[in-house]
Amino acid sequence: MKVAIVYNRDSKRVINLFGMPNQEKIGMKTIDRIAAGLRKGGHQVRAIEGDKDLVDNLEQFMPRVVKGELPGLVFNVSYGIQGQARYTHVPSILEMVGVPYVGSGPLAHSLALDKVVAKMIFQQNGVPTPEYNVMQTPDSDLPELPFPMIVKPKNEAVSFGLRVVKNEAELREGVTAIFDEFRQSVLVEQYVEGREINIGLLGNNPPETLPPVELLFGDTGPAIYTMEDKMRESGREISWECPPKLDPDVLETAKEIAQKAFSALGCYDCARVDMRLDGEGNLYVLEINSLPSMGEHGSYTIAAAEAGLDFGALVCRLVDVASARYFGTPSPPTMVKPTKNIGQRLTSYLVQRRDQIEKRLQAWTQVSSRTSDPTGLADSVRRLSKFCEEMALTPDPDLTDERAVWTWQSKAGLDKGILLVGHLDVPTPLSAPAVMFRRDPEWLYGEGIASSRAPLVCMQFALRALRSIRRLQNVPMALLYYTDEGRDYRYSHKIVENAVARAAKVLVLRPGNLESSVVTQRRGRRKYRFTVVGEPRRLGKVYRKRGVLRWTTFCLDEFAKLTSKESRVAVATGDLGTESYPESLPHRTTSTILVSFLDITKADAVETQMREIIKTKEFQCSLELLSDRPAMKRTKRNRQLFSELQAVADEWEIPLERESSLSPSVAGLVPSSKAVVCGLGPVARDVDTPQEAVLRLSLMQRTLLLAQYLSGQVRNKGK
């Protein structure tokens, strides 16, 4: 499980410094010990300051989860930065954004911090507590309590301002000091002469009581645990005895009182109840600490050690009890628990490697392999070949040309199996600036991350997961990657068609759309070069006939009029360039014309019409077909393949829809006699732009979907 230790120590990252600043600081040694203990327990751990960046940092560390994966959890040791009820600040934020955490909620913390309200609740629930009063100002009337008394701030923790007063002068002095420093009312409490006993609690409904700890104050100073004692600035040494010598009946009563106080304030998971035991055997609750210190010398950790929990076991136990509270299990289910269920084993493998998946994706985005970069493409092919060798996939020489397309297959072979198709090249000009990898809480960015890299990484980890359960070689499949997507698969299309002919189903690893869709129909696209050449003309000279540029724009306008919503044909100009001599008007134009279509007969008709439009005796005109990307037709077989994928997606609660796309892909090379679905890669946005990005959650979801689907395609030995 991912566990974020949220603390407050040095950060002042807030919008404004406003209100009472926090004076409590957790030591870095304690944070490091908590982290080490959790890692020893098998958790992924990160320490995060509880400041204004908390939500963003948590989202980056623990993004949304897939079915079968527990959400991340916060180990809260945050005292807050400033303001009132500081213990409640981080839990309140976690409640708002839906992140589970160890420890009490905002309400319990606020009640425990308000010592007066806590004592009122104790009295109402039969929890014994010393008599008390509240002084609103230093000049308030004296409380009707016998001396000695205890004075302390009404809303502070860790013994801030705590002192024993023996007469009115000391009382007034103590109250004034608290007002000057903390600007709040003062709790005046009857001092109970006797022994101080701390009872730690761990768990819920009811919590377990840890062995009691007695504080030994020695012969010097007051018999109370002051802030100076905690900071080791008092000049005396406070010791502990665990377990103390207590009458069994008193011990049992102390445990019952501690549990009752814990329940009365609505605490969760852990707390420490501080009590006094007078000479007559009566117990009084002084206060409850809803966020007990995890310091090495704190009474809570001392009691846990006496109960048999070393520090690592203690912090892991706290995670366990919080998980039980949130997820309703005796202990959080571990994804590494052995199971015979294929789906659970695949899910277990993948969710444990969420960080590795993102790191591998980052590494791939840093491998430059633009369409016109032969060195980068060769490096990418080498890396993919190494992966296939690791997976024991064998090269298929009949479907590999070592120039633009490479194919590997499993032991079960491709014939009548599944063909996975992707491309390694990134269709970006070499002159374009590099796009560096970066992440935010929801999205991952980088060069070619959506068009090529994320689908590639999904495939790699899906196959790794299948290999981990010894199922990969039994899946009839082949992996085909080409490197001329940016050239409209000019060199690879023949081999792709040959591979498709041998397969029964084709899954094209292109990015998914924002609506969590895959594609079962795509338009085709033809690209033409339209060239017009005429005589050079001088600026200022009058000509009776129009020039090259005017004729070109006339033709382009006529081409655009061929667009038909009814025929599902669109015609547009991709770019326009001119050539001219010095001091002359353009004598040559070159345009790129794009024709999008669903029905090839409609595309043929449009081409015929365009050739009619450009007929003229005034200029030399040519219309050259540069590339022809066929349409991917919507067929019954495609719908059936989508239904198979959707059944898997529904089982694992992965959103999956289908749609038609206006842009072409290699899926158009698949004939109607074969089943094909395109867009199996992660959900993406701004594809083929510098802002190209994939959804972090979808990266895991689509990897899981592919792995689960392929695992169900194992061919029976009899076939």
Q: What pLDDT shows up at residue 110?
A: 93
CA distance 484 to 426: 9
Residue 337 has pLDDT above 50, yes or no: no
Report for 59-68, 286-295, 330-339: range of highest mean pLDDT: 286-295
Question: Which band of pLDDT confidence, cut at 50, 70 and 90, is reported for residue 351?
Answer: confident
- 105 to each of 99, 258, 314, how far by Cα in Å? 12, 18, 20
CA distance 262 to 80: 22
Higher pLDDT, 397 or 71: 397
Strand 517-522 relative to strand 657-661, pairing: parallel
Mean pLDDT of 235-263: 90
Q: Which amino acid is at 54?
A: L
Mean pLDDT of 269-290: 95
For the domain bounded by 348-522+633-711, which CATH number is listed? 3.40.630.10
Residue 233 has pLDDT above 60, yes or no: no
Question: Which band of pLDDT confidence, cut at 50, 70 and 90, is reported for residue 235?
Answer: low
Q: What pLDDT shows up at residue 18?
A: 65
Q: What is the mean pLDDT of the chain?
A: 90
Q: What pLDDT shows up at residue 714?
A: 87
Neighbours of 205 (CB within 10 A): 9
Q: What pLDDT shows up at residue 229?
A: 58
**CB contact at 8 A, 43 and 322:** no
Residue 158 has pLDDT above 70, yes or no: no
Q: pLDDT of 29-49, one tens digit each? A: 999 999 999 999 888 899 999
CA distance 692 to 445: 6
Residue 329 has pLDDT above 70, yes or no: no
Q: What pLDDT shows up at residue 141?
A: 87
Strand 505-508 relative to strand 418-423, pairing: parallel
Residue 438 has pLDDT above 80, yes or no: yes
Q: pLDDT of 97-126, one tens digit each? A: 989 999 999 999 999 999 999 999 999 999
Mean pLDDT of 395-424: 97
Residue 143 has pLDDT above 80, yes or no: yes
Residue 13 has pLDDT above 80, yes or no: no
Q: What pLDDT shows up at residue 719?
A: 42
CA distance 652 to 44: 24
Mean pLDDT of 147-158: 81
**CB contact at 8 A, 41 and 312:** yes
Q: What pLDDT shows up at residue 84?
A: 73
Angle in degrees, 0-180, between the axes of helices 454-468 and 354-365, rounded to the nearest 10 = 140
Residue 138 has pLDDT above 60, yes or no: yes
Angle in degrees, 0-180, between the axes of helices 600-613 and 548-560, rounded to the nearest 10 = 150
Q: What pLDDT shows up at residue 340?
A: 66
Place of tokens 């695949």: 346
Q: What pLDDT shows up at residue 121?
A: 96
Q: pLDDT of 620-670, one tens digit each? A: 999 999 999 999 999 999 999 999 999 999 999 999 999 999 999 999 999
In sequence order, the 6+-apart residues with CB closer than 8 A to the CB of 534 are 547, 548, 551, 587, 588, 618, 619, 620
Q: What pLDDT shows up at residue 578?
A: 96
For the domain bounded by 530-622, which CATH number is listed? 3.30.70.360
Sign of CA dihedral 365, 370, 373, 379: positive
Q: What pLDDT shows up at residue 137?
A: 85
pTM of the model: 0.72
**CB contact at 8 A, 595 and 608:** no
Q: Where are the domains of the chain?
A: 2-101, 111-130+192-327, 348-522+633-711, 530-622
**CB contact at 8 A, 103 and 269:** yes
Residue 296 has pLDDT above 90, yes or no: no
Work out the burial of residue 673: count CB atoms within 10 Å of its CB; fewer than 13 is exposed, 13-18 middle, 19 or more buried: exposed
CATH 3.40.50 fits 2-101, yes or no: yes
Mean pLDDT of 434-452: 92
In sequence order, the 6+-apart residues with CB closer than 8 A to the CB of 455 are 422, 509, 510, 511, 680, 681, 682, 702
Q: Which amino acid is at 704?
A: L
Residue 331 has pLDDT above 50, yes or no: no
CATH 3.30.470.20 fits 111-130+192-327, yes or no: yes
Question: Which band of pLDDT confidence, cut at 50, 70 and 90, is reported for residue 159?
Answer: low
Q: What pLDDT shows up at residue 232?
A: 59
Residue 515 has pLDDT above 50, yes or no: yes
- 512 to each of 73, 288, 450, 658, how far by Cα in Å? 30, 53, 9, 10
**CB contact at 8 A, 481 and 423:** yes
Residue 589 has pLDDT above 60, yes or no: yes
Question: What percentage of residues in the chain have a pLDDT greater than 70?
Answer: 92
Alpha helices in 142-235 (DSSP H): 168-182, 227-230
**CB contact at 8 A, 291 and 38:** no
Which string of DSSP letters, residue by residue, matches 491-537?
A: TTHHHHHHHHHH-SEEEE--PBBTTTEEEEEE-EEEEEEEEEE---E
Q: pLDDT of 354-377, one tens digit each? A: 889 999 999 999 999 999 999 999
451: which DSSP letter?
I
CA distance 63 to 191: 51
